[in-house]
């Protein structure tokens, strides 16, 4: 990701609304998906969290690391705020889906929770229509997201999709289901 970073202050150009109902609603939806991700994993031991369940080889722990680094950190702190430190660090991890054996389960889960807190701080300090500060042209071509609102909707969709992946993985691992409709 070698695109030139934009100014770190670009996201602040639209005055935030301290009680912005749209931001609260979008964050509430995202928070529900984040709780789903963490909740469906409760009770799984380290072996299960590191076990590839599908032929593609991803693990539940790898998916959570992907959400922390490639989703929460990337979209909110790199793309939305243009944080040059985060942008510079993007190339340090070749594949966030692969968790190094020396990294503990607690470290991955704590990193996800920490990135959520950092993202929430960014989101609650801005307005839904605030523009993005940086765009990774080399990865995605011309921008197709333009505001915090767009990023929030994208992250909600991606997190929900991955929560569904974790539902399927959990059911394959031990039969547990998150939501049982009768």
CA 71/CA 29 separation, integer angstroms: 16
- Share of residues in the chain with pLDDT > 90 (%): 84
CA 125/CA 17 separation, integer angstroms: 8
Tokens of 47: 């072996």
Residue 4's pLDDT band (cuts 50, 70, 90):
very low
* Burial class for 98, CB neighbours closer than 10 Å (0-12, 13-18, 19+): middle
Number of Cβ within a 10 Å radius of residue 167 = 17
- List Cβ<8 Å contacts ≥24 apart for 118-122: 118/72, 118/73, 118/76, 118/77, 119/72, 119/73, 119/75, 119/76, 119/77, 120/27, 122/11, 122/76, 122/77, 122/80, 122/81
pLDDT at 179: 79
Residue 181's pLDDT band (cuts 50, 70, 90):
low
User: pLDDT, tens digit, for every residue of 86-111?
Assistant: 999 998 888 999 999 999 999 999 99
User: pLDDT, tens digit, for every residue of 16-44?
Assistant: 455 589 999 999 999 999 999 999 999 99
Tokens of 46: 């380290």
User: pLDDT, tens digit, for every residue of 142-165?
Assistant: 999 999 999 999 999 999 999 999
- What average pLDDT does the structure give for the chain? 90
CA 152/CA 11 separation, integer angstroms: 14
CA 12/CA 126 separation, integer angstroms: 6
pLDDT at 93: 84
Top CATH class of 10-174 equals: mainly alpha
> What is the phi/psi pair of residue 147, to 5°?
-135, 170
User: pLDDT, tens digit, for every residue of 131-143?
Assistant: 999 999 999 999 9
CA 60/CA 93 separation, integer angstroms: 18
Higher pLDDT among residues 74 and 178, named by residue: 74
- Share of residues in the chain with pLDDT > 70 (%): 88
Domain ranges, ordered by start, for the chain: 10-174
Residues 6+ apart with CB under 8 A from 166: 36, 37, 40, 41, 60, 63
CA 101/CA 161 separation, integer angstroms: 26
CA 112/CA 50 separation, integer angstroms: 16
């Amino acid at each position: 990701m070698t695109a030139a970073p934009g100014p770190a202050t670009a996201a602040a150009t639209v005055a935030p609304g301290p009680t912005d109902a749209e931001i609260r609603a979008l964050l509430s939806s995202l928070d529900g998906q984040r709780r789903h991700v963490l909740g469906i994993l409760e009770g799984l031991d380290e072996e299960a969290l590191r076990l590839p369940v599908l032929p593609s080889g991803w693990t539940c722990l790898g998916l959570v690391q992907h959400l922390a680094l490639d989703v929460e950190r990337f979209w909110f702190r790199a793309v939305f705020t243009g944080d040059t430190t985060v942008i510079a660090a993007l190339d340090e991890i070749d594949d966030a889906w692969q968790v190094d054996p020396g990294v503990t389960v607690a470290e991955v889960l704590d990193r996800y929770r920490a990135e959520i807190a950092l993202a929430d701080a960014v989101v609650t300090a801005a307005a839904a229509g605030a523009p993005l500060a940086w765009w990774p042209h080399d990865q995605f071509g011309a921008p197709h997201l333009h505001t915090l609102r767009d990023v929030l909707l994208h992250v909600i969709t991606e997190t929900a999709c991955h929560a569904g992946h974790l539902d399927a993985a959990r059911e394959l691992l031990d039969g547990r289901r998150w939501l049982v409709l009768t």
